[in-house]
Structure 1
Amino acid sequence: MNVDEIKSILLKDLSLNEAYVSLYEDNYQIIAVSHIFSDGMTELERHKIIYAPLMKYILNNEIHSISIQAFNPKEWNKKRGLCDV
């Protein structure tokens, strides 16, 4: 799998505002931004949402390792140093 395929799956299957996927060796790094990630949601709950559409690729070893960062738009803007709009 390449980064564009993973990004396409995430954007198609989830209500993401933004998705960034990169690959370092065999570890895919995913940054996902969406309103579906509420303020009270745990990191584990957010990760489960991202894993769901990718699970078949993990199980058949097309994806070996994933690092996930999931933000709602407010958190993402804060992380990037932008005002909350």
Structure 2
Amino acid sequence: MECSLIEQILRDALALDEVHASSDGSHYKVIAVGECFDGMSRVKQQQTIYAPLMSYIASGELHALTIKTFTPTQWKREKIFNS
């Protein structure tokens, strides 16, 4: 599955400021940034990302998905911390 397609599906389904998808073969990683994650539990944040991708996961087209979610404020801190 193309990373650009994953990004587009998530952009279309959710109010995200940024979304980044990458893969190393069959393992995919998604970083999603949006105010929609503010106040959500980690589990709910993961479920929010999984929901629009479920048909691809069920078909086996997408598997081994790692998800990291951030609010815009958390993302700014993360970028500063990791620079």
Q: Which residue of 2 aligns with 1:69?
A: 68
Residues in 1 aligned to 2:45 and 2:79: alpha-carbon distance in whole angstroms: 19
Length-normalised TM-score, structure 2: 0.93
Q: What is the alpha-carbon distance in structure 2 between the residues aligned to residue 9 and residue 27 of structure 1?
A: 18
Match of 2:78 in 1: 79
2:7 and 2:58 map into 1 onto residues whose CA distance is 18
**Of 40-49 and 9-18, the range deviating more from structure 2:** 40-49
- Once the two structures are TM-superposed, the CA of residue 12 in structure 1 deviates from its matched residue by 0.7
Residue deviations 1:13-36, cap 9 Å, x none? 110000000001211100000000
| Partner-residue secondary structure (3-state), 1:79 | helix
Structure 2 unaligned regions, length at least 5: none
Q: CA RMSD in A?
A: 1.1
Question: 1:49 and 1:32 mapped to 2: Cα distance?
Answer: 10
Report sequence identity in percent: 36
SS of the equivalent of 1:80 reads: helix
Alignment of 1:14-53 (within 5 A): 14-38=14-38, 40-53=39-52
Q: TM-score, normalised by structure 1?
A: 0.91
Q: Which structure has more helix as a fraction of its residues?
A: 2
Moved over 6 A (4+): none
How many residues align? The count is 81
* Runs (5+) with no aligned partner, structure 1: none
